[in-house]
């Protein structure tokens, strides 16, 4: 009997010890979960203007999914692209540097040269333990250049700057003889069928990657929409719905176009195909956000939403089918006015970054990857861009920052702009058309529409900013 009671006693002690060990294990597991590096999903839209979202004032385009994302994010309302066109803007974002090489700006046909590892954000994020993937518009070379840059997996990425068509087959033109001089998009036709729409196909492949990824490692995936770039093609039912809505909308005395540069600026959001494209893009963003919830990884995924520059609202000496207006911002794609460079930028990390709107901090797209590397490894690289993690953590504001632009690839025929450079220092922005020898100065905080040129009223400030701008340009 004594022996039996001794065994019971030993058993009870064992249960207690096991219980304590079990509790320790759970605590350790919880700590491991808290210490896990977040996944990163970057959603980058092509040619999307700041006011093309209903949360930013559009009364025509309905974007409920992006609006909800914004309500859950740190919204940086003073964010800019580093260039008002695709290739240089994307170069700046991927390298963390101003888009100038040897005094010139990379443009169509550019291939991303070898970037040393000590200046390569993607390779350093990989070294921090991430699996990396890229979907959609790359426009900085072929698929090989993308892999050399550090992306392990890619889909539908290469030289192409825009689709031949958004309607299947995607690499066949839907007018004329069906032939196009544009670069075809790889991968997409092989996995699609009659009736498919490119945005949906792209999103399905991003979702498939997220579902089948290696669950033991965090992922960093960049989804670069080909939308809402031309060609303006949408699903018929969406076009018809927007035709009806636009037909019934009262634009009042708002003119359809005004004169700007060598051409026109569109002043109404009244293109039903473009409206349909924006709304389909929003639907696909909604699918991605819902997937994060369904997979229960929403809390441990950083979502970055942005655009590469302003919307296509201007033509030049050659009239063209214009997609949208950036009004009340001035001009659009191709211009260094606010309509060409001001972009939406939202960053969400549920439970980590308190949702709010920052109207002060001046950030640019070349800051995005320095920020993500900071989160991934607390590491920084030698670039002009810098981590805005202190802004996301609500510890700093960058209202007095100075940033620059140099637009040497003007297109007076297509978008009406001519060669210019710009500086923004705090509230003031100066634009210098250096070939024409003219300068304009604006207080952006008081005059975001850039309607009141202060250069004649504040000559000392204008001269000081122009000197600083020209000194900056000598660095390249």
Distance CA 308, CA 97 (A): 15
Summarize pLDDT for 258-273 with one digit per residue, the tens: 999 999 999 999 999 9
- What mean pLDDT is predicted for residues 354-374? 98
Q: Identify the residue with better confidence: 326 or 34.
A: 326
> Hey, what long-range contacts does 202-207 have (CB within 8 A, 24 or more apart)?
202/135, 202/136, 202/155, 202/156, 202/226, 202/284, 203/284, 203/287, 203/288, 205/135, 205/155, 205/156, 206/135, 206/155, 206/288, 207/287, 207/288, 207/291
Q: Is 297 exposed, middle or buried (0-12, 13-18, 19+ CB in 10 A)?
A: middle
- What mean pLDDT is predicted for residues 220-230? 98
pLDDT of the residue at 97: 96
Residue 431's pLDDT band (cuts 50, 70, 90): very high
- What mean pLDDT is predicted for residues 355-371? 98
Is 90 exceeded by the pLDDT of residue 364?
yes
pLDDT of the residue at 410: 95
Distance CA 227, CA 312 (A): 12
pLDDT of the residue at 33: 40
Summarize pLDDT for 2-57 with one digit per residue, the tens: 343 333 333 433 433 344 344 434 334 333 443 589 999 999 999 999 999 999 99
pTM for this entry: 0.91
Distance CA 263, CA 256 (A): 13
Distance CA 79, CA 177 (A): 42
Distance CA 19, CA 450 (A): 68
Contacts of 264 (CB under 8 A, 6+ apart): 257, 258, 314, 315, 319, 322, 416
Place of tokens 């498939």: 208
Place of tokens 């607390």: 378
Summarize pLDDT for 309-322 with one digit per residue, the tens: 999 999 999 999 99
Contacts of 341 (CB under 8 A, 6+ apart): 80, 81, 82, 83, 84, 309, 310, 335, 405
Closest CA to 409 of 105, 77, 90: 105
Closest CA to 86 of 127, 58, 30, 46: 46
Contact 446, 461 (CB under 8 A): no
Domains and CATH numbers, the chain: 38-399 (3.40.720.10), 419-476 (3.30.1120.10)
pLDDT of the residue at 35: 54
CA distances from residue 252 to 268, 274, 397 in whole angstroms, order as listed: 11, 21, 39
Q: What does DSSP assign to residue 298?
A: G
Residue 143's pLDDT band (cuts 50, 70, 90): confident
């Amino acid at each position: 009997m004594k022996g039996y009671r001794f065994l019971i006693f030993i058993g009870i002690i064992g249960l207690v010890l096991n219980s304590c060990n079990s509790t320790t294990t759970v605590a350790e597991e919880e700590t491991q979960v808290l210490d896990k590096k977040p996944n990163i999903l970057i959603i980058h839209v092509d040619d999307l203007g700041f006011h093309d979202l209903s949360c930013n004032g559009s009364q025509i385009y309905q974007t409920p999914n992006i609006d909800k994302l914004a309500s859950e994010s740190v919204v940086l309302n003073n964010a800019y692209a580093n260039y008002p066109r695709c290739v240089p803007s994307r170069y700046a974002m991927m390298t963390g540097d101003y888009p100038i090489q040897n005094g010139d700006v990379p443009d169509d046909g550019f291939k991303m040269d070898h970037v040393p590892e000590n200046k390569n954000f993607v390779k350093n994020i990989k070294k921090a333990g991430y699996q990396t993937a890229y979907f959609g518009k790359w426009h900085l070379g072929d698929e090989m250049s993308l892999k050399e840059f550090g992306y392990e997996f890619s889909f539908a990425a290469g030289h192409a700057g825009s689709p031949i068509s958004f309607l299947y087959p995607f690499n066949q033109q839907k007018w004329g003889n069906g032939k196009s001089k544009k670069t075809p998009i790889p991968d997409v036709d092989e996995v699609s069928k009659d009736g498919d729409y490119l945005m949906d196909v792209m999103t399905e492949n991003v979702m498939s990657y997220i579902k089948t990824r290696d669950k033991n490692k965090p992922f960093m995936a960049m989804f670069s929409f080909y939308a809402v770039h031309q060609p303006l093609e949408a699903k018929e039912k969406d076009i018809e719905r927007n035709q009806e809505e636009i037909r019934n909308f009262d634009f009042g005395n708002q003119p359809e176009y005004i004169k700007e540069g060598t051409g026109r600026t569109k002043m109404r959001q009244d293109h039903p195909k473009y409206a349909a494209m924006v709304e389909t893009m929003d639907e696909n963003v909604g699918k991605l956000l819902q997937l994060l919830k369904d997979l229960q990884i929403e809390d441990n995924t950083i979502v970055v939403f942005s655009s590469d520059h302003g919307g296509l609202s201007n033509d030049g000496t050659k009239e063209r089918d214009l997609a949208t207006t950036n009004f009340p911002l001035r001009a659009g794609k191709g211009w260094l006015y606010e309509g060409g460079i001001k972009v939406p930028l939202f960053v969400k990390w549920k439970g980590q970054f308190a949702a709010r709107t920052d109207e002060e901090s001046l950030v640019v797209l070349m800051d995005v990857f320095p920020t993500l590397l900071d989160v991934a490894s607390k590491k920084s690289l030698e670039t002009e861009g810098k981590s805005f993690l202190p802004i996301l953590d609500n510890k700093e504001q960058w209202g007095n920052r100075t940033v620059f632009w140099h637009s040497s690839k003007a297109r007076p025929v297509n978008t009406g702009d001519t060669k210019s450079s710009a500086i923004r220092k705090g509230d003031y922005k100066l634009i210098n058309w250096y070939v024409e020898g003219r300068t304009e100065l604006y207080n952006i905080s008081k005059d975001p529409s850039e309607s009141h040129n202060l250069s004649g009223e504040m000559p000392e400030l204008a001269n000081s900013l122009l000197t600083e701008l020209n000194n900056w340009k000598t660095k390249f």
